Amino acid sequence: MQIFIDKKLVRNHVSIDSQKPVNLSWAAFLEYIETGPLFGKFPPFNEQNPLYSLIISILPLQAHEDFLIELYDQVFVECLTHTKAIPQIEHAFLMDRIQKKRGDDIFEHARRHYETYLREYPYEAIHDLTLYLAWDRVCFNLSKLMEEPSSNPVVQKNTHVLKNCLIESFQHIAAQGKTTPSFFRLMAALIAFYMRDENLETHSEEEWTTLCQQLGWINTVEDDSELADVPYVDLSFAQGQDAYRVLTLDSTEKANGLQTLMELTIRKLQVEEVNWKYAVNKMEFISLFSLEKPE
């Protein structure tokens, strides 16, 4: 059983009594070494963004599927480009912050893990981190496109292609076994797609009830400029056979709600996507919500 904690626990300095080593996702580790906001200088993905405006202008047109895939690839390239320019993920900066965190504390196991990874495999570690961060922004940007309503059947068809690109990207990255892309971010984008007017009739009564009851939890995770960290969702798709226990400052109600949405999303993927092949790991979460310090 591997123990993970979310970045809110790191941020709030909540004391953890664990008999096993505590692990940190990239998001929680970056919080631990105090890298600060990462996406503050990213250009907003809206009408002021040339790529966003281009895609919005193309969606009503009878575009070839390959061209839409190229547009999706451009979103990914733009996110990668901006991610690589983040000064806080430069190798020297990370190693300096890691050295300053040396000490016998609850996170020492995680600190040593990332220190070794960055020292012995610097290229692979920075590539892993860059892809992890860029994926967060790709999903976030695609969510913006999915939220744009339209009664135009051509727009609906083309948006479906972009949605499929996102799913294929998740599976491609996950299959490499190096970076665990955030399923929470993918789920948020897919639910934005499922909630489009043209897709509402595709839900069963049970699915619609679940969406109505649990949808609000999606928007309570992080603010737009922050890296999402929902390990009790994301670790469900981590490679390997280990069971995971996640300690979180999210309430039990919120964690249960997001896991319910995850299960609904997986069921829909298993029906709609013939190539979907990811099963869920054994997962246990413990809510420490009552221990959160007042701001």
Longest dimension (CA), the chain: 61
pLDDT in tens, 126-171: 999 999 999 999 999 999 999 888 899 999 999 999 999 999 999 9
Q: In what order do the strands lie in the sheet with 2-5?
A: 22-24, 2-5, 244-248, 283-287
Question: How many CB atoms are located within 10 Å of the residue 8 CB?
Answer: 18
Q: What are the boundaries of each domain within the chain?
A: 2-291
The pLDDT value recorded for residue 140 is: 94
Q: For 227, phi and psi rounded to 5 degrees?
A: -80, 125
Residue 27 CA: distances (Å) to CA of 2, 62, 166: 17, 40, 21
Which token pair is 63? 């575009």
Q: What is the pLDDT of residues 51-97, one digit of tens each?
A: 999 999 999 999 889 999 999 999 999 999 999 999 999 999 999 99
- Residue 293 scores a pLDDT above 50: no
Confidence of residue 106 (pLDDT cuts 50, 70, 90): confident
Q: Check residue 47 and give its pLDDT.
A: 92
282 vs 234: which has the higher pLDDT: 234
